[in-house]
Amino acid sequence: MQQKPILIVGHKGKTGSRVYRLLEKQGIPVRGVSRSGQPAFDWNDPSGWREAMAGCCAAYVTFQPDLAIPAAEGAIRQFTELAREMGIEHLVLLSGRGEDGAQKAENIVINSGLEWNIVRASWFAQNFSESFMLDGILQGELVLPAGDIPEPFIDIDDIAEVVVASLTRDELKNRLFEVSGPRAMTFEQCAREISDAVGYPVNFVSVPIEAFIQALSKQNMPEEMLWLMKELFTEVLDGRNSHVVNGVEEALGRPATDFSTYIMKVVAQGEWRHEQVEYTEKF
């Protein structure tokens, strides 16, 4: 009998795409869903969820834009209840460290009556190369409302491996893995290490949160994302998550990937080739 597929919610995202590829390499059937895919999956439109879940045995769940937003709790509750109804037996939820909204979502999954895993992650190292900080790196000036609070940035290749282990190894079920990189670094330290590796200056500039949000607003960022950015750079990045945790080693039996190794991978892929870009906003 053919094995039922594992559902990957957000299979085009940073972690979902990696989880999808790793499971495929192991010969495990997967069904990736997203807003633009078929079947379509949209967190703001539950009408497509049933078709997305049909016939799946487990699911890897990433919520967009972030579990910190107030709407996440209700959406995760609705998703979990439908998953149980549709015969899904195991949920793996990507969560964030130090977020009240994320902890509420975690509790829903843990108390769902299904088998579960929580992968509670630090800030992604790949935010410097695949997300909102990439332009600053390429411009040589990383402007953020962050001071000297250190963060143990996690390589999301590690997250993907922990998720796959959780989905495929019975002995790891019903456990929370809190994952981080092996050392805590400030954004300025990260910029300095990247600068040393890419061969052009990458300067870090700290700005007040109000100026940062105002500039994003002028770029027509949605209100929900403006709220999230303020939450992440004030409430979450306040030192509560600066300590290193060992969830990667607990799940995989090896140390977490260091930021320097992440840098070498990105340089080898050519993601930080220097581009001269005019600044569109002044903080």
Given a contact cutoff of 8 angstroms between Cβ atoms, the answer to whether 76 and 105 are in contact is: yes
Q: Report the Cα 187 to chain-centroid distance in Å.
A: 18
**Who contacts 64 (Cβ-Cβ below 8 Å, separation ≥6)?**
10, 13, 43
Structural domain range at position 29: 6-122+155-179+243-257
- The rounded distance, in Å, linking the Cα atoms of 208 and 147 is 9
Query: Within a domain: residue 162?
Result: yes
With CA atoms as reference, report the closest residue to 144 among 197, 183, 202, 98. 202
- The rounded distance, in Å, linking the Cα atoms of 42 and 181 is 31
The verdict on whether omega for the bond into residue 29 sits within 30 degrees of 0, i.e. cis, is: no
**Who contacts 252 (Cβ-Cβ below 8 Å, separation ≥6)?**
158, 161, 162, 165
The residue with tokens 């594992």 is 6
Query: Within a domain: residue 223?
Result: no
Tokens of 150: 């250190």
Query: Within a domain: residue 265?
Result: no
The domain spanning residue 164 has which CATH number? 3.40.50.720
pLDDT digits (tens, 9 = 90+) for 172-223: 999 999 999 999 999 999 999 999 999 999 999 999 999 999 999 998 888 8
Whole-prediction pTM value? 0.93
- The rounded distance, in Å, linking the Cα atoms of 251 and 162 is 6
CB-based burial, 55-79: b 16+ in 10 Å, e otherwise: ebebbbbbbbebbbbeebbebbeeb
* Biggest CA pair distance of the chain: 60
Query: Within a domain: residue 82?
Result: yes
Per-residue pLDDT of the chain in tens (283 residues, 90 and over written 9): 458 999 999 999 999 999 999 999 999 999 999 998 888 999 999 999 999 999 999 999 999 999 998 999 999 999 999 999 999 999 999 999 988 899 999 999 999 999 999 999 999 999 999 988 999 999 999 999 998 999 999 999 999 999 999 999 999 999 999 999 999 999 999 999 999 999 999 999 999 999 999 999 998 888 888 888 998 898 888 899 999 999 999 999 999 999 999 999 999 999 998 754 444 443 4
Query: Within a domain: residue 26?
Result: yes
Query: Within a domain: residue 235?
Result: no
- The rounded distance, in Å, linking the Cα atoms of 1 and 68 is 40
Query: Within a domain: residue 222?
Result: no
Q: Cite the DSSP H helix spans in the chain.
A: 14-25, 49-53, 72-85, 100-110, 134-139, 156-168, 187-198, 209-218, 223-231, 247-252, 259-269
pLDDT digits (tens, 9 = 90+) for 227-250: 889 988 988 888 999 999 999 999
- The rounded distance, in Å, linking the Cα atoms of 94 and 159 is 9
**Who contacts 1 (Cβ-Cβ below 8 Å, separation ≥6)?**
none
Q: Cite the DSSP H helix spans in 116-198.
A: 134-139, 156-168, 187-198
The residue with tokens 């979502």 is 105
Structural domains counted in the chain: 1
Query: Within a domain: residue 85?
Result: yes
H or E stretch including 94?
strand 90-96
